[in-house]
Structures are given as structure tokens and as C-alpha cells.
């Protein structure tokens, strides 16, 4: 199982996992989830539900990935299969992302 830590402006917001069967799970961190002052990380991942599951990488996280030439460069440099979106997310979305959300490998 691979797992990433999801941060919102540097604050741990939750955990993103991919299990051996390919099922993706995003779970809000308990303290973040219970704090009404902390926003949901996405409209598609509301805090009204603590655990979200999907057969595919959640569209919100997929949107953090590079495309085109940048994707090609990342895949070559990091030796990542271009179709392994989860591994690419964990290895490339930890620092320089558009917006407040970053994802780092655990």
C-alpha cells in the first residue's frame, strides 16, 4: 500500500492511500476534520464525510499533476511509469503546486 500525507497550507489535512486492489481512499485527519474553522480541501471532498473512496485517483488530486512536456520530463527524470498517476503525485506534488494543497509521501 502506498500512502501520501495531504497538507492544506502546510497543515496536515488528511491521508491519501492506494491499496493493493487499486482502491483509493482519502481520509481527513481527525483534528482537521473536527475543526469547523478548517475548510474542506476540495468541493468534491467535503468534510461532511471523513473517508472518501474511489476506484480511480480522485479528480481533485489528478488535477495537481503536470501535463504534456512537463509530465514527460518528470516521468523520465524520476523513472515513473507515465500511467502511474499516484506515484507521480507522491513524487511531484510535495512542494511547488498551484494552490494550497501539497501531497508528500509518508
Q: 1-54 pLDDT, tens per residue?
A: 789 999 999 999 999 999 999 999 999 999 999 999 999 999 999 999 999 999
The predicted structure's pLDDT at residue 6: 97
| Spatial contact of 96 and 87, defined as CB atoms under 8 Å apart | no
Is the confidence at residue 85, as pLDDT, over 80?
Answer: yes
Inter-residue long-range contacts of 40-43, CB under 8 Å, 24+ positions, other chains counted: 41/6, 41/8, 41/13, 41/14, 41/101, 42/101
- Look at residue 28 in the predicted model and tell me its pLDDT: 98
Which residues have CB under 8 Å from 102's CB, separation 6+?
6, 7, 10, 93, 94, 95
Looking at residue 58, its pLDDT comes to 97
Q: What DSSP element (H or E) covers 86?
A: helix 85-92
pLDDT at 96 exceeding the cut of 80 = no
- In which residue are the cell numbers 482519502 written? 26
Amino acid at each position: 500500500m502506498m500512502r501520501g500525507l495531504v497538507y492544506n497550507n502546510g497543515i496536515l489535512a488528511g491521508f491519501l492511500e492506494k491499496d493493493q486492489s487499486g482502491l483509493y481512499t482519502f481520509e481527513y485527519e481527525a483534528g482537521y476534520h473536527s475543526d469547523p474553522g478548517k475548510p474542506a480541501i476540495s468541493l468534491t471532498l467535503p468534510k461532511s464525510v471523513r473517508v472518501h473512496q474511489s476506484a480511480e485517483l480522485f479528480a481533485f488530486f489528478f488535477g495537481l499533476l503536470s501535463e504534456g512536456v512537463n509530465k514527460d520530463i518528470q516521468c523520465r527524470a524520476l523513472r515513473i511509469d507515465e500511467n502511474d498517476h499516484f506515484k507521480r503525485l507522491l513524487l511531484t506534488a510535495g512542494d511547488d503546486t498551484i494552490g494550497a494543497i501539497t501531497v508528500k509521501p509518508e
